[in-house]
Structure 1
Amino acid sequence: MKDFKSILADLDQGKFSPIYFLVGEKETFFVDLIANKIEQTVLSEEEKAFNQSILYGKDVSIEDVIGQAKQYPMMAEHRVVIVREAQELMKTIESLSSYVEQPQQSTILVFCVKYKKMDGRLKVTKLLKKDAIYFETKPLYDNQVPQWISETLSASGYSIAPKASEMLVEFLGNNLSLIYKELEKLQYVIPRSTKITPELIEENIGISKDFNSFELNKAIGIKDEVKAQQIVSYFAQNPKHHPLPLTIATLNSFFNKLLRYHALKDKSQYSASKTLGVSPYFVKDYSFAAQKYSMKKSSQAIALIREVDMKSKGVKANQISSGDLLKELLVKLMR
């Protein structure tokens, strides 16, 4: 089973398969990316009028799809048939088996299956994995997204600072579609070969380079109470972009990783980065924090964070605001 990079590389080189079966049970970005690449690049605009069909699973049957796929191209080398929302055809997907065994070589047939998983026991699934380009995308974990951002930008001639990548992940999560759209905006306004910095992210996307969870972790780690309180106040004024549950989760993650850092025998940048699942750029934050928080204090910090989490949900608390809860937590953590 090929990965998306290999598939895209083959498409760029004009190496096409008669069938692409793209499955995204939880992450659909790569399904759309590959399908859109085929839709936009295989045929010229003139050829598309007679040789490209975009079908929707809820409107057609497998027989309709096969009928379209068996047609010959007109004044073009290929015919392209893309079936979007193909998950709607899963009840009758076994009927595709005979076509998979003998596909029309001049047709590029693309199935886009979203939010469903193929049954590996089916004959058609086994045939697709054996004779077609079968691609099943898996969601990236948050700590894998910065690397993906870097690789995506590198392919377009850009580079990005580690902190800038982390800012995007904090603001947009691991929603690759949203991140990709923001990267496209950046590439539209920033010249190629530019290194994308936190300042450029702040200027063009509106994410603060100074008031974010990573800066809060850093301030807490070095016990800079003034800076930490400034960031918390900013969060309280911007609850939409900095909801309390997300801040609590980030702080909890920071101190859990700090505990793991304490336990490391090899605290070199590369080893610690790999074990903690963070960019090498952020290892120094854990090194500094380890000097301020022992393993015992790190464990106590986690207990305090969990206590605030419970209070935020109404347990043993009388409608305390998010900002006040965080300010109370900072005092307990850093004094």
Structure 2
Amino acid sequence: MKNKQQPTISSLIKEVKSGKISPVYLLCGEEYFLIERALKSILDTLLQPETRDFNLSLLDGITATIQDILSAVEVYPIMADWRVVVVSESVLFQGSPKTQSANLESDFLDEVEDLDSNDPTELFLDWLTGNPPQNSTLIFTVKGSVNTREPIVKAIDRIDGYINFEKLKESSSIQQDPLYQSTSKQLVQFDKQITPGAFKLLRTRVNNDTHRFFEEINKAVSFVGDKTQIDEQDIRNLVSTTSSDTIFDLTDSIGSRNVKQGLSSLHHILANGEAPVKINALITRQIRLMIQAKLIQRSNTLNLDARRMSYQDFINRIFQPLSKKMSGDLPKAATINLLKQNPYVVYKIIQKIIRFEEEELIGFLEKTLEADIQLKSNSVPAEYILEQLVCDLCRSPRIHAV
């Protein structure tokens, strides 16, 4: 893949408005909020409201075949200049098992021999290098990174349709922080500003989720009314600690062996009316994820120290390579597959997994099973059972270097 500056949303839309429109776009990356914004901007630019429904096709990339996709693109626009086909999470960009093998050269030769006329990638490349319709554009959206060595990605990049929206990196200087700059620009149109303290607090409360961050910013604009500045107290009043946040704190406290935080989070969750059996199930799920992290560590696949990495370095150097290499070796169900969780959750688990032994984690699973039986028997108050469980899981059997 050639090195070139990635376009921004504004530069992309500037090109679209000027008439420089690619027959295919691949919008991908970790910052899915930016993918959604870019897609919306393209659609708003190319399609008029009164004819939008006639000229926009939204396809599920898991179920739609390449024939379905190309057929939709070939339809001529109705009472409009453009037709747009959007395909989400297409299997075209998942790669093949062969490309992940150690012997890439041998596998490539095998693939060439095995290609036939029904190969989806070949059909797409033939279409793209042929004569794509002049009044249609095809947009693929993919959450996360794609393999830039794949022929289909290279082909889209050659026509300037490949755009990777990487996770916005935190800066040591808030004035140079990309998210802070973007937020400030958005607030200018409402004649408002956000204090650095409020910005940091909001980012923490939404767990660095950019999509939710901007949702809360939009709420804050209405919440503060005539005030021109959004401060920390506004964020505290508007963005409360949610049940999901507190559950995250509870499971995170187990990884930290922090009894005080664990009990505090537990009491908060119970006070909010969460079912004790569900709380125990979430703790069990956390232990299973920790065991997977320990197995990855034991396999020597994890040969970098995540404890001393920034979040962005972790994504680039550990999470993305591990996801490509090992995700298929873990449980198929996304809810209990470590490498299919939010990267921030994985970051926190892998940072702390050195504090635990594998046998100890298996023992934790046995404790959650015992707790489940007790909770369903109603023989002991649920709060007491869960308090004892949290204390047992957070207790340190030995001192580990950190």
Which TM-score band (shorter chain)? Answer: 0.5 to 0.7
- Structure 1 residue matching 2:84: 3-state secondary structure: strand
Q: Distance in 2 between matches of 1:232 and 1:56?
A: 41
- Whether the 8 Å contact between 1:86 and 1:111 is mirrored in structure 2 is yes
Q: Is 1:178 matched with 2:212? A: yes
Corresponding residue number in structure 1 for 2:141: 112
Q: Distance in 2 between matches of 1:97 and 1:193?
A: 54
Q: Is 1:61 matched with 2:65? A: yes
- Whether the 8 Å contact between 2:58 and 2:86 is mirrored in structure 1 is yes
Corresponding residue number in structure 1 for 2:162: 134
Residue 6 of structure 1 deviates from its aligned partner by 3.7
Corresponding residue number in structure 2 for 1:100: 128
Residue 193 of structure 1 deviates from its aligned partner by 8.5
Post-superposition CA distance 1:199-245 (Å, at most 9, x none)? 2212222369xxxxxxxxxxxxxxxxxxxxxx9998897589xxxxx
Q: Distance in 2 between matches of 1:116 and 1:180?
A: 22
Match of 2:194 among 160, 175, 189: 160
Q: Distance in 1 between matches of 2:199 and 2:72?
A: 43
Corresponding residue number in structure 2 for 1:150: 180
Q: Distance in 2 between matches of 1:174 and 1:115?
A: 16
Q: Distance in 1 between matches of 2:15 and 2:229?
A: 28
Q: Distance in 2 between matches of 1:206 and 1:98?
A: 53
Change (3 A) 1:319 1:233: closer
For structure 2, the 5+ residue unaligned runs are: 96-119, 243-260, 271-307, 309-351, 364-387, 396-402
Amino acid at match of 1:126: K
Matches within 5 A, 1:247-258: none
Q: Distance in 2 between matches of 1:113 and 1:93?
A: 16
Residue 77 of structure 1 deviates from its aligned partner by 1.3
Residue 140 of structure 1 deviates from its aligned partner by 3.0
- Structure 1 residue matching 2:140: 3-state secondary structure: strand
Post-superposition CA distance 1:134-191 (Å, at most 9, x none)? 1112223455896233223233224211111110122122221221221222234345
Q: Distance in 2 between matches of 1:118 and 1:39?
A: 26
Post-superposition CA distance 1:105-124 (Å, at most 9, x none)? 321211112245234142x3
Q: Is 1:22 matched with 2:51? A: no
- Whether the 8 Å contact between 1:83 and 1:112 is mirrored in structure 2 is yes
Change (3 A) 1:180 1:69: same
Q: Distance in 2 between matches of 1:319 and 1:72?
A: 63
Q: Distance in 2 between matches of 1:12 and 1:190?
A: 36
Amino acid at match of 1:80: V
Corresponding residue number in structure 1 for 2:42: 38
Amino acid at match of 1:111: F
Amino acid at match of 2:202: L
Q: Distance in 2 between matches of 1:233 and 1:10?
A: 53
Change (3 A) 1:152 1:82: same
> How high is the TM-score relative to the length of structure 2?
0.48
- Structure 1 residue matching 2:43: 3-state secondary structure: helix
Q: Is 1:169 matched with 2:203? A: yes
Change (3 A) 1:239 1:149: farther
Matches within 5 A, 1:1-335: 1-10=5-14, 13=17, 15=19, 17-18=21-22, 19-24=24-29, 26-87=30-91, 90=94, 92-101=120-129, 102-122=131-151, 124-143=152-171, 147-156=177-186, 157=188, 158-190=192-224, 194-206=228-240
Change (3 A) 1:121 1:204: closer
- Structure 2 residue matching 1:80: 3-state secondary structure: strand
Q: Distance in 1 between matches of 2:35 and 2:161?
A: 12
- Whether the 8 Å contact between 1:142 and 1:174 is mirrored in structure 2 is no
Change (3 A) 1:104 1:7: farther
Q: Distance in 1 between matches of 2:166 and 2:79?
A: 38
Change (3 A) 1:4 1:95: farther
- Structure 1 residue matching 2:238: 3-state secondary structure: helix
Q: Distance in 1 between matches of 2:142 and 2:42?
A: 16
Amino acid at match of 1:133: G
Q: Distance in 2 between matches of 1:153 and 1:79?
A: 32
Q: Distance in 1 between matches of 2:173 and 2:88?
A: 26
Q: CA RMSD in A?
A: 4.6
Q: Distance in 1 between matches of 2:16 and 2:222?
A: 22
Residue 103 of structure 1 deviates from its aligned partner by 2.9
> How high is the TM-score relative to the length of structure 1?
0.57
- Structure 1 residue matching 2:53: 3-state secondary structure: helix
